[in-house]
Structure 1
Amino acid sequence: MIRCIAIDDEPLALDIIENYISKLPELKLEGRYTNPLEALDVLNKNTVDLLFLDIQMSELSGIQLLKALPNPPVVIFTTAYQKYALEGYELDVADYLLKPIPFERFLKAVNKVKDLLSLQRNTTDQNPLKDYIFVKSDYQLVKINLDDIIYIEGLKDYVKIFAGTKPIFAHQNMKSIESKLTNDFLRIHKSYIISLKKIEAVQKNMVRIAGLELPVGEMYKEQLFKIINENS
């Protein structure tokens, strides 16, 4: 069962989404909201799988609401304005539905979400000794081998994963990506997680990795040097 919330400041638009959801037994509508601030409070206190989110709303835009969520669910944008498609792409939403929304197009978007959620759940259920993770990037789940990861940088609404020749941008926060990693990784700063295997040198306030000098935050020093001393 996919638990859904729909947010749109137009009640008629919500009626259409609710009607479409009722036709699909795998979807369950947990709530519908015309007030995005009320919906934001609900989302911060409860977990859902899928959010149908209008973009242009009076009190808070859908884009602003999505950026305010520290660990957002899968999102399908619904809007009457095609100009927002690019920003939706940059926010890594699952799909973008242009109003008026045909049921066939709605169904296609839901099927895409089902595939994403299925893959996410399979990844979560893996053995803790996993050697890879999946991250959501550019409308897809990308597999990354843990041994390829050099370090991860936090960038407000994204993390930037340096693995291989090209960095990967994933729409999630540092706490979320950190929970997926093994003990071979360590957070050394509010903005950096490193692979312990890739460390080249360590100083009091710096770690050199892949030829780069990354800062070590005060609150992370003790754990870092404990690991270093245990292996000296």
Structure 2
Amino acid sequence: MKISCLLLDDDPLVLDLLQAYVAMTDILDVKAVFNDPLEAHRYLLNNDVQVLFSDVTMPHLSGLDLVRSLQQPPLVVLMTSYPQYAMEGFNLDVIDFLLKPISLDRFLKAVNKVASILRTSQPNGDESHDVLSGWGSFFIRTDAQFVRLHYREVLYIEALKDFTKINTADGRTHLTLVNLKNLEEQLPPGLFVRTHRSYLVNAAQIEAVSTLEVRVGGHALPLGQTYRERVTERIVNRSLIRRQQH
């Protein structure tokens, strides 16, 4: 099954190069091509794609601001000539960051990363699911069996030394012999957010955020100072309804 994508860059030569690369992959399905980020934004508000390949520095709206403006952005691969944007991009949970001029092998590596993430969310190759919607699933080994858990039903994951405890919305807990860092690296980016060195929380399940804690499924979990700014930016600011100035 092909991966639907949108290409965005204000340089027509870059767009030509990307489309040539796409034709070589036989896995990407280009749904739209834009050189204007505002047009791309309007398209993304009304259409679903699985991955966005976007330039960073563009007139009117940067690629970073475009991603921030979307309540549920697709998987994102950013492209730029300026490496200083990389950290800000990864703070937005982008999948990859391509430095221009973009080589074919580097582009293919990004595509492989996207495909791997989408396969994680569709382990049986069933009908397409947007990984960020949380409708995919994963297996863990617990006791003497393998247990399937759906992303949407996970509330939060807690570190217990070499184990992690996965807490689900139905009140069950599952212990698995994988540490939190290792588990986090294998989960699709964008679904879960680290709120504390010992807690990983389902972003879609967060009910409230305060200075010292987040609430999820009726549980109050600590919000570490190291993670506070990122959680506020990603969870609150992206969908905050603000008072209009008159």
TM bin (shorter chain)? 0.5 to 0.7
Write the letter of the residue equivalent to 2:78: F
Match in the other structure for 2:53: 52
Q: Secondary structure at the match of 2:53?
A: strand
Q: Which runs of 5+ in 1 are unaligned?
A: 136-142, 149-156, 179-186, 199-208, 213-232
Deviation at 1:43, TM superposition (A): 0.3
Matched, 1:36 2:37: yes
Whichever of the two has the greater Rg, that structure is: 1
CA contact (8 A) 1:132 1:145 kept: no
**Aligned match of 1:96:** 97
Match in the other structure for 2:151: 133
Q: Secondary structure at the match of 1:112?
A: helix
Cα offset, 1:167, TM superposition: 3.2
- Give the deviation of 1:103 after TM superposition: 0.2
Name the counterpart of 1:118: 119
**TM superposition score normalised by structure 1:** 0.63
- Aligned-residue CA RMSD in angstroms? 3.3
Q: How far 1:45 sits from its partner (Å)?
A: 0.4
The residue aligned with 2:198 is 166
Match of 2:216 among 174, 179, 194: 194
The DSSP-based 3-state class of the residue aligned with 1:124 is: coil
Distance 2:165 2:122 in 1: 16
Q: State the 1:121 CA deviation.
A: 2.6
Offset at 1:145?
1.7
Letter in 2 for 1:145: I
Give the direction of change, closer, same or farther, for the CA distance of 1:28–1:159 in structure 2 (3 Å limit): closer
* Pair 83,20 (structure 1): closer, same or farther in 2 beyond 3 Å: same
CA distance in 1, matches of 2:120, 2:77: 17
Equivalent residue letter for 2:198:
K
**Closer, same or farther: CA 23–58 of 1 in aligned 2, 3 Å:** same
1:57-86 deviation line (CA, Å, top 9, x unaligned): 011000000000110111110111111111
Seen in structure 2, the aligned counterparts of structure 1 residues 195 and 9 have a Cα distance that, compared at 3 Å, is same
Contact 1:132–1:144 (CA under 8 A) maintained in structure 2: no
CA–CA distance in structure 1, aligned partners of residues 92 and 222 of structure 2: 31
1-structure distance, mates of 2:209, 2:74: 23
Q: Secondary structure at the match of 1:78?
A: strand
Aligned residue for 1:145?
Answer: 166
- Structure 2, unaligned runs of 5 or more: 124-133, 139-146, 155-163, 168-172, 175-189, 224-246
Give the letter aligned to residue 114 of structure 2.
V
1-structure distance, mates of 2:78, 2:222: 41
TM-superposed CA distance for 1:195, in Å, is: 3.2
1:19 paired with 2:54, answer: no
**Partners of 1:133 and 1:145 within 8 A in 2:** no
TM-score, normalised relative to structure 2: 0.60
Q: Which residue is equivalent to 1:154?
A: none
